[in-house]
């Protein structure tokens, strides 16, 4: 069982603002055993997972880290040992990008929206150049920046926009931005599910896929 379970189990208890002793009593286990579960020292049986999911009002998929949606509605196809549908995957990415821009607009910051749009545009350009480079008949002269320089120039611009996105998200000035009042609201996966019920499943699925990919890359290093 992954560390997602222990982390999520502890998080749900803290969100509910109850003590470990209270939760253990309600779940029918000793406090010591619950502590082991929350710290990843012991793996629970299926019956405990089901009880805990019911107790905290979430799905087993969420509790096990298979989905970022609490109702378990955003489980990537890879986690269900299914072949991802190409059209569905494409739609998920498009919807996720659209929701990201809606989140930015909801803050009331025009600068933040503009920086995210520029960032995504750079990514599209960069990937297109990779595709173009694979074509033997491609003529590099159609682009202003050469094959040897464009990647470095794109990376530099991406980092610049990343800095501005972080700055604009806080409503701060600098780096070509001016200070502004930013509308604050909860952006947890659970809150996003409430705010955007139609788009959230695709958005959370993309987040889960990237999280899985990052964790997979981290595992070999952790096991050394």
- pTM, to two decimals: 0.74
The angle, 0 to 180 degrees and rounded to 10, between the axes of the packed helices 86-106 and 110-133 is 150
CA angle 151, 221, 207 (to 5 degrees): 60
3-state SS, one letter per residue, for 15-67: HHCCCHHHHHHHHCCCHHHHHHHHCCCCCCCHHHHHHHHHHHCCCHHHHCCCC
Residues in CB range of 24: below 8 A, 6 or more apart: 30, 31, 33, 34
Q: pLDDT truncated to tens, each residue of the chain (224 aa)?
A: 557 899 899 999 999 999 999 999 999 999 999 999 999 999 999 999 999 999 999 999 889 888 888 887 766 655 555 555 778 888 889 999 999 999 999 999 999 999 999 999 999 999 999 999 999 888 888 898 988 899 999 999 999 999 999 999 999 999 999 999 999 999 988 899 889 988 898 899 899 888 888 877 766 555 55
Say which CATH topology domain 3-65 has: 434 Repressor (Amino-terminal Domain) (1.10.260)
């Amino acid at each position: 069982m992954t560390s997602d379970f222990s982390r999520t189990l502890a998080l749900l208890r803290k969100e509910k603002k109850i003590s470990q002793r209270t939760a253990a009593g309600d779940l029918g286990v000793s406090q010591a055993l619950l502590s082991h579960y929350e710290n990843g020292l012991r793996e629970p049986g299926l019956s405990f997972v089901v009880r805990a999911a019911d107790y905290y009002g979430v799905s087993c998929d969420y509790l096990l880290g298979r989905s970022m949606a609490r109702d378990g509605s955003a489980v990537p196809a890879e986690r269900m040992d299914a072949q991802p549908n190409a059209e569905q995957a494409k739609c998920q990415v498009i919807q996720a990008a659209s929701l990201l821009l809606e989140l930015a607009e909801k803050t009331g910051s025009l600068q933040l929206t503009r920086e995210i749009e520029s960032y995504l545009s750079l990514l599209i350009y960069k990937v297109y150049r990779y595709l173009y480079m694979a074509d033997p008949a491609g003529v590099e002269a159609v682009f202003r920046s050469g094959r040897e320089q464009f990647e470095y120039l794109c990376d530099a611009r991406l980092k610049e926009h990343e800095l501005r996105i972080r700055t604009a998200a806080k409503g701060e000035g600098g780096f070509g931005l001016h200070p502004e009042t930013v509308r604050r609201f909860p952006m947890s996966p659970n809150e996003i599910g409430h705010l955007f019920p139609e788009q959230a499943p695709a958005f959370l699925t993309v987040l889960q896929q990237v999280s899985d990919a990052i964790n997979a890359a981290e595992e070999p290093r952790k096991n050394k």
